[in-house]
Amino acid sequence: MVKRRVEDVKLYHGSLNELNSRDPKRQYKFAKEPTILLVHDIVRSSQIESRFKNDLFERGYDGIVNRKTTPYFYKGDFYLSHISKVFVEGTPAKLVGS
């Protein structure tokens, strides 16, 4: 049984094969769900990655591959654009043996 930790959750833009080629000791497989969409409000950009990792971990996933990240902009005061939300879409993955 592989030990799961939030810090080890992968947010990967490439394919499952590419992710598995990086570390032969930590191999991933596709989860049952074909795709997942995560949305978070922006508080600090430094917290975004940890929020998505926590969200995936709580749902029982060890990563996401084929990741697409899309910011949502809105117009604020003085016609300045601000990022208010970030959407992450991809294929959820689980560690082999978990």
Three-class DSSP category at 80: coil
pTM of the shown model:
0.78
For the chain, the domain total comes to 1
Handedness of CA 56, 31, 9, 11 (dihedral sign): negative
- The mean-pLDDT minimum among 9-13, 19-23, 40-44 falls in 40-44
Name residues whose C-beta falls within 8 Å of residue 2's C-beta, 6 or more positions apart in sequence: 26, 95, 96, 97, 98
1 within domain boundaries: no
DSSP 4: P
How confident is the model over 75-92, as a mean pLDDT? 73
Query: What range does the domain containing 89 cover?
Result: 6-95
**More confidently predicted of 84 and 66:** 66
91 within domain boundaries: yes
Predicted confidence (pLDDT) at residue 24 exceeds the cutoff of 70: yes
Any idea what the CATH number is for the domain that residue 54 is in?
A: 3.30.110
Tokens of 67: 């990741």
- Confidence band of 80 (pLDDT split at 50, 70, 90): low
Tell me the C-alpha to C-alpha distance, in Å, between residue 3 and each of 6, 9, 61, 70. Answer: 10, 12, 13, 31
How confident is the model over 16-25, as a mean pLDDT? 94
